[in-house]
Structure 1
């Protein structure tokens, strides 16, 4: 049972530690307390977890007191301070349909969140999804009369592989999931998602509320062009033209297309592929590379800590994103900010990130993918021009802009006389 598992430690006042370190930020946000509720948070490795962490630590650095409530990574409930953020980790159990993720125990979760809200005293609740923690947080916020901001990072395609949903049933299952999403997020005061295309998707799936597109954002001070040869040496990579992918090695990323394309690329340039990340498709990708005779040109670096990711991008010449379920793709943005041209699938929100800085290809068209990769790898002039276009586009996704917009939304909602009609 989750009820009151954290009351041994006062959550907003851990003895001898400050929840945040004041630094320059909007005066209106000083003293504001934000509670971020999310089903996934580092050490989980996925876009929603990374965004939630950047949002929390970014708000704290700008002067807010920030609390995060999420599933425990090892099952044990506890409170800890990380990056000036108070993290309340709830009792959790393994998620049966996923090899690594855990889920908060639903029993007693509503009472626990109501208690936590009373102890922390937030002015705004910001949820990062509509599953276990997100929906419980919305219900608790409504009971407490608090405003709710809800951000969607989810597509049903992200769960089909793990839930073992047969292809013929996926459309029906997806419709059920979208209806459930609409019921939960309809209770929020503001709804956001990372891109305009992602917002249009929600409307197409029957969500009738207004949805604002706010980029997940990236730290342009961390991700920028760096010397290439040194980066390759750090990761023990061959010094040859390099195609890079960063992310989960899972079904919806369609990484087999990259491996199938490589023999065609090798007809033009002595290239290699570097996969960074972990996932259920690694073994299948290794078998495919061996069957095609390119296993010596396909490298798997596994999990790379977030602190080392800037050097990973610097080791490459082009970034490839074959995924078809990207609501934004933080990895693609990081690659652009690192000066890499991009070759991406013409699917979901990826076209939003390609404008003079790379090429789009039809998902499944391996030869088109290969042509684009070879064109970039064989032309330094093309790489340079695309790099400059990518840097300019990435600059519009500075995470400071995203933080400032969320702060504006919090300020708009937190009015003593404000009415919150979606209870």
Structure 2
């Protein structure tokens, strides 16, 4: 059956959260008090739920959030069934293109290139959207960017890409990764140059694009989190019981159990922590490294302290965070890390690798601590600092919540609306086709 589910809010585990209904803005950008008409928005994504990854979930949350605010939102993305179809999913119209399974990617599908470009071009002409918002530089999104440009429609591109996230999935040998990464970045920068407005989730992600050669303007807009859904709770023991966890201090992680998340470092850190403190690790997520991680936990003598919970249902993810005392992530290729933000919003201190965008989420000693990437000894030391903090642990969690408030997803939606309305159709072609009403 075609996919239908609540709007997701987690980067990798599949968390979902209701988007609070808000009316569309009623004040024009020039300050005039006249109603603004709803926008017609076409969002293009090479990945979309039920795919389990951050880019797909952000795309779905963006589409649902904009539709909740009164806009007419269409999404073009791969079919999760293989065969193409069109259907309304909640308030969003989904245009699912013919797809095929991606090599070496468990459960993921990609749009079949043959005929996709022409189909998207026809869709753009038929819908005549006010803006095309692409979520990657890959095949489907690239076709949408070019179709928008050809039709004189403003194009926004949000970059979620880092080659590091693909190396393990594509099984690229270590010796070839630098060359492959360089080629991938060049391709991304070239496609980004075709967009009218480029956004990234964080300032660090924007800086990375500049380092890779993009010379245009880049705006940082947080992916945002649902602060009403993720909030501090007092039922920690009950939450642990819900997931079958012993009632002891708990380190939590939400995400794919894959190489780029470096969960092996977290397990190694737990083995060191457990020599001095009665602690355990709970992992929410699926991935190809699960069996290897189970073996590692057994080799280190902490198999009874590492709990592989698999996919945690969307409705229960806030409760999973509530079962924890500290959130830990050792990944080095995070452009934002929604899971870290959700944990902070829940009131958890965080211990994160000092890499990519993660340091932007930490005020050292106020809401958590950083550790050098790939150093489980220092990671263990930081975890012990939090777990042994006593009453000070609550202060760390309180500050974490305060810092998470900066990432309210309503603010992100409002900013994207402003971006869309601020763009103007390009000069070519000189006239746009008559708008055709589409449900």
Q: Would you call these one fold, judging by a TM-score over 0.5?
A: yes
Q: Unaligned 5+ residue runs, structure 2?
A: 1-19, 29-35, 430-439
1:36 equivalenced with 2:43 (yes/no)? yes
Contact 2:151 2:428 in 1 (8 A): no
Equivalent position to 2:415, from 386, 392, 405: 405
1:162 equivalenced with 2:161 (yes/no)? no
Deviations 1:257-288 (CA, angstroms, capped at 9, x unpaired)? 01111121112211110011111110110000
1:280 equivalenced with 2:288 (yes/no)? yes
1:327 Cα shift?
Answer: 0.2
- Of structures 1 and 2, the one with the larger relative CO (CA 8 A, separation 6+) is 2
Partner residue, 1:116: 123
Partner residue, 1:268: 276
1: distance between equivalents of 2:320 and 2:21? 32
SS in 2 for 1:111: helix
Partner residue, 1:192: 199
TM-score calculated relative to the size of structure 1:
0.92
Partner residue, 1:338: 346
Deviations 1:86-144 (CA, angstroms, capped at 9, x unpaired)? 11111100011312211000001111001111222211000000001110101111111
Partner residue, 1:240: 248
2: distance between equivalents of 1:412 and 1:186? 18
Mark the CA change 1:420 to 1:311 in structure 2 (over 3 Å): closer, same or farther: farther
Contact 2:150 2:428 in 1 (8 A): no
1:419 Cα shift?
Answer: 4.8
Mark the CA change 1:113 to 1:22 in structure 2 (over 3 Å): closer, same or farther: farther
Equivalent position to 2:90, from 77, 83, 91: 83
1:183 Cα shift?
Answer: 1.3
1:65 equivalenced with 2:72 (yes/no)? yes
Contact 1:51 1:216 in 2 (8 A): yes
Deviations 1:361-385 (CA, angstroms, capped at 9, x unpaired)? 0011111111111121122222111
Partner residue, 1:313: 321
* Alignment map for 1:127-206 (pairs within 5 Å): 127-206=134-213
Deviations 1:333-377 (CA, angstroms, capped at 9, x unpaired)? 000000000000000000000012100000111111111111211
Contact 1:344 1:359 in 2 (8 A): yes
Deviations 1:26-75 (CA, angstroms, capped at 9, x unpaired)? 13653311000001111111110111111111101111010111011121
Q: Unaligned 5+ residue runs, structure 1?
A: 1-20
Q: How many residues align?
A: 399
Contact 1:263 1:294 in 2 (8 A): yes
SS in 2 for 1:372: helix
Q: RMSD in angstroms over aligned alpha carbons?
A: 1.5
